[in-house]
Chains A and B, each alone.
Chain A
Amino acid sequence: MTRTIVGKEVLANLLSYKFHIVLLLTVVLLLTSFFIMHRDFQNRLADYQVIRPKPGEPIALVPPNPLSILAKGLDEAMGRSFEVGVTGITVRAGQKTGNLIFSFFPAPDFLYVVRVVLSLVALLFGFDQVSREKEDGTLRLMLANNVSRAKILWGKWLGNFLSLAVPFGLVSVLGIAFLALDPGARFSGEQAARIGLILIVTFLYAAFFLSLGILVSTVTRRAASSLVILLFIWALVVFVIPNLGTLLARQAVDVPSVKALSEKRQQVWTREVLLSIEEGRRAGAQEAGRGGWAGHVATINEDIDRLEEDYRVKFDRLVRLSKNINRLSPAASFVYAVTDLAGTGISEELNLKGEVIRYKDSIIHQMISSMALETRAKEYPAFGYRPRSLGSIFAGGALFDAAWLVFFNILFFALSYFAFVRYDVR
């Protein structure tokens, strides 16, 4: 019986105006997004080839991540070149274009299309499932047969999920297959597995909105009011909660601004330069000044390290808190899970920065002492970065986020079941 209902739902969808318009929208958007983000990736790859450090240069640079085509996340920040010098880490090649319009709107990647558009589409599939059939009177007819309400609900859910997920999944896989043709973006086996996981999380996310749609449809009498409620909930979940949560977290955690930090850094520098010149003058000889400068450089490093350490501890706290507040919305969980899986998320960026700092700490003493001796050490060990493994990504929160999405799914499906069992079909 369930099969019949699923078949009926799929057929009804295939013939509807809604389905055609939705299909058109998703196909056009996905393909445009793949095309554009692929170009963006290629440009970044070309830039990477230009600034790639020569052997022995104390520069930490990671290549752009091919999965950033799907979820750009923080890949641009991670692809900057971190140059280690005697006074710490200098960031180069940060802003790659002077076109300010980029900073107004988020990147139209797969992640964005799913987060914003697929969620809306899933709601549109769910919003009239129960109330429309009641208005049409077909719900009564269905229930007059030998079929349980649970089966009807499940059949409706599955039928709609399939008519949503199958075309979307096909277009996505097709797009990704095209991307894989580019040798620059060729995905490794592990990356293909990551893409698979991203698609699974995507379906979980879409399923949540479908369940939400069906739930609201069973608690409202009219399809029109169901739609109004759903659109408002959608705006809250997708935009308002995650965007407000970060601001809220900032109220609770006192993190100095990046500007304050860079001003302090300049102050330390300038102070030590002056002190060392005065010292040199007092000693009267250039040589004494030279050796003394190395000591000042060490002081600069210690002071700045202390400042940054303090900042990072606070910033970590801010990130944790804002993540937890934002997780009230499944859209935030979805973004965290996908960016973590793609290796472009906040945790990955923090991890990379930690590695860069470790790299700096491992060579800075050699740098300062060779400066004091006025010899130039030419060869430094190369910086190597291994992105976090899937295991540590799962342990670091992605598993929780995925489980959290599953929980939302079960909760909302169960709620709609209870609402539907008591539904007055007349």
Chain B
Amino acid sequence: MLKTIIRKEIQNNIFSFRFLASLAMLLVIVTVTAFILTNDYLKKIDEFSQRQTEIENYMKSYAHFNRVQNVVRPSLPPLPFLSLIRGISSDVNIDEFDDDPLPVMFPLIDLVFIVTILMSLVALIFAYDSVSGEREDGTLKLMLAGDVSRAGIILGKIIGGVLTLLVPFVFSLAVGLLFIILQPRVAWTGADWASLGLIVVGVFLYIALFYGLGVLISARHRSSASSIMTSLFVWVLLVLVVPNLSPYIASFISSTPSRIKVDRETARITDTERDDLGSRLQKERLQELAKKYPVLAENIPESEVKDRLAADPVFREAWQARRREVQLAWDEANRIQNEKAGKIWRELGRREAAQTEISLYISMISPLSDFTYLATDLSSTGIRNQAHFGQVSSLFWQAYADYSRQKIAALQKRDPSTDWWNTPVDMSDMPRFRYQEEALGGRVKAALPPVGALLGWFVLLFAGAYFSFIRYDVR
């Protein structure tokens, strides 16, 4: 019997206007998006390799140790997944004078957008009248008159509905992937395909969840006209409002000091305040020293110091001790003040991390954010990859520091009189930055909490739909 209901649902849907409309829409949008993003990715690769060549050529003429670390700075290569998912690696670059404001005005479209906004809307459009509509048509009464349990009907409806929903998505995704497969320069690895597979599982969960939501709302309304209104209301809240509000709400709950204020404060601590402390420490130490070397208490004009140093060995010793003490005083001041500033920065970092975590949790109320985190982390275009890139870069900097130390030592051994720091050197043997994507295992682990949240929603909504339908007045 369950099979019959599923078949009936599928047939009902497939011949419906909304099925054709959503198939046509998705086919066009997914294909166009995949096409444009793939081209964009190819352009990015070309640009990236051109930039790398430029750096290599540059290093042939101007490689030296003083400032060249600014030229060989690691940069993230375009990842093959960019031909489907853009993530947060978008190109705003607010730290540069010539930033790119276009993505701020209109966030760019990608697979995540298509799934989170369009597919959830399509799912609700399919589900809103699944119970209330059949009641209005009178077919629900007829169905229940047959030998079939309510549980069977609701289960059949949900399975049939989700299956039909998947058809337009999978079909249009397949067409979009054709571009990627047919384009020989987009080299997807096995891990890329595996993570795409996992993302598709996420899509399945996401769609099923919204379908369940639609059925639940439908089973709580008498007329389908009002169930679509409620569905859209809930959809707007979950998809368009909660994620956008979450970081702002988190900043109310756990505020962080402004970076600008901290920047000013720490600059003051390591500058004027350090100078005050340094002078005070110097004065104290010199007073102490003056007891040992009374000669220092004499007020000698600066012009005479040089002669006196040459003539008077006692004075020379005292003067050297004085210089040592001054150095110690300022080292001490620098250490104390840097520690103080470092503490403030660490505290800021801690509080920012706490706020990020709270925003993350609040936003995870919305299935949209769950799916976004899942997809961007799996495809290495999200927060996690930024941290990963930071780690890989710091490994490179370590290797670079080792290399430059050894190289300078070797050069100095050969020719101690040259200032190797500021002389062009052949650095063709220096370590190169190679970006390695994080292994799939780590990414999957990162995607587990959002998957858990999606599953939780899924179970909750299905249970809700089931219990609402059991008590539904079918007349």
Contact = CB atoms under 8 A, between A and B. Distances in A.
Contacts of A145: none
Which of B70, B101, B256 has the largest number of chain A CB atoms within 10 A? B101
Given A47-B261, A101-B363, A250 B40 contact: yes
Contacts of B256: 97-99
A203 interface: no
Contacts of B260: 47, 50-51, 93, 96
A162 B377 CA distance: 46
Interface in B234-285: 236-237, 240-241, 243-252, 256, 258-261, 263-264
Nearest to A80: B94
Contacts of A21: 229-230, 233
B232 interface: yes
A39 B26 CA distance: 39
B248 A108 contact: yes
Most buried by A among B96, B228, B232, B256: B232
B422 interface: yes
A248 B88 CA distance: 19
B439 interface: no
A227 B232 CA distance: 11
B96 A262 contact: yes
Given A232-B22, A247-B40, A266-B71, A259 B93 contact: yes
Interface in A249-276: 250-251, 256-264, 266-267, 269-271, 273-274
A106 B22 contact: no
B383 A100 contact: yes
A267 B54 CA distance: 10
Nearest to A100: B383
Contact of A251 (B36, B118, B247): B36
A243 B96 contact: no
B21 interface: yes
Interface string B66-108: 1110110101000000000000101111111111111111111
A94 B229 contact: no
Nearest to B76: A259
A244 B109 contact: yes
A225 to B, nearest CB: 5
Interface in B188-240: 224-226, 228-230, 232-233, 236-237, 240
B408 interface: no
Contacts of A262: 93, 96
Nearest to A24: B233
B25 interface: yes
B240 A116 contact: yes
Interface stretch (B158-166, B353-361, B450-458): B353-361
Nearest to A96: B259
A262 B94 CA distance: 12
Contacts of B388: none
A99 B250 contact: yes
A235 B118 contact: yes
B249 to A, nearest CB: 8
Interface string A12-32: 000001100110110001001
B244 A258 contact: no
Nearest to B93: A258
Interface in B296-322: none
Given A247-B36, A247-B40, A257-B47, A231 B121 contact: yes
A326 B353 CA distance: 37
Query: Which of A24, A51, A335 has the largest number of chain B CB atoms within 10 A?
Result: A51
B244 A50 contact: no
B40 A251 contact: yes
Nearest to B386: A100
Contact of B96 (A245, A258, A270, A326): A258
B75 to A, nearest CB: 6
B379 interface: no
Contacts of A105: 243-244, 246-247, 363, 369
Contact of A232 (B21, B363, B372): B21
A1 interface: no
B64 interface: yes
B83 to A, nearest CB: 12
- Interface size range on B against A: 35 or more
Contact of B97 (A39, A339, A353): A353
B438 interface: no
A103 interface: yes
B342 interface: no
A322 to B, nearest CB: 6
A192 B13 CA distance: 52
A46 interface: yes
Count chain A CB atoms within 10 A of each CB in B70, B226, B248 and give the residue with the most: B248
B113 interface: yes
A116 B106 CA distance: 12
A332 interface: yes
Contact of B236 (A25, A277, A322, A332): A25
B352 interface: yes
Contacts of B228: 227
A244 to B, nearest CB: 5
B109 A273 contact: no
B32 interface: yes
A104 B372 contact: yes
Given A93-B263, A98-B349, A263-B55, A25 B233 contact: yes
Contacts of B106: 242-243, 245-246, 326, 332, 335
B314 to A, nearest CB: 34
Nearest to A51: B260
Contacts of A239: 109, 113, 117-118
A150 interface: no
B250 A228 contact: no
A242 B64 CA distance: 47
Contact of A240 (B29, B37, B348): B29
A270 B119 CA distance: 50
B424 interface: yes
Given A91-B95, A101-B359, A270-B68, 8 more contacts: A93-B260, A97-B352, A98-B353, A101-B360, A108-B245, A228-B17, A243-B108, A247-B108
29 contacts: A29-B241, A36-B249, A47-B258, A50-B260, A51-B260, A51-B264, A74-B104, A91-B96, A98-B256, A99-B250, A99-B359, A100-B383, A104-B363, A105-B244, A108-B241, A108-B244, A235-B25, A235-B118, A239-B113, A250-B40, A257-B47, A263-B51, A263-B55, A266-B71, A270-B67, A271-B62, A274-B424, A278-B422, A346-B105
The 7 closest A-B pairs by CB, nearest first: A98-B352, A101-B359, A243-B109, A258-B93, A108-B244, A94-B95, A101-B247
Interface of B: 17-18, 21-22, 25, 29, 32-33, 36-37, 39-40, 43-44, 47, 51, 54-55, 58, 61-62, 64, 66-68, 70-71, 73, 75, 88, 90-109, 113, 117-118, 121, 125, 129, 224-226, 228-230, 232-233, 236-237, 240-241, 243-252, 256, 258-261, 263-264, 348-349, 352-353, 355-356, 359-360, 363, 369, 372, 383, 386, 419, 422-424
Interface of A: 17-18, 21-22, 24-25, 29, 32, 36, 39-40, 43, 46-47, 50-51, 73-74, 76-77, 80, 82, 88-91, 93-108, 112, 116-117, 120, 124, 128, 223-225, 227-229, 231-232, 235-236, 239-240, 242-248, 250-251, 256-264, 266-267, 269-271, 273-274, 277-278, 281, 308, 311-312, 315, 318-319, 322, 326, 332, 335, 339, 345-346, 349, 353, 356
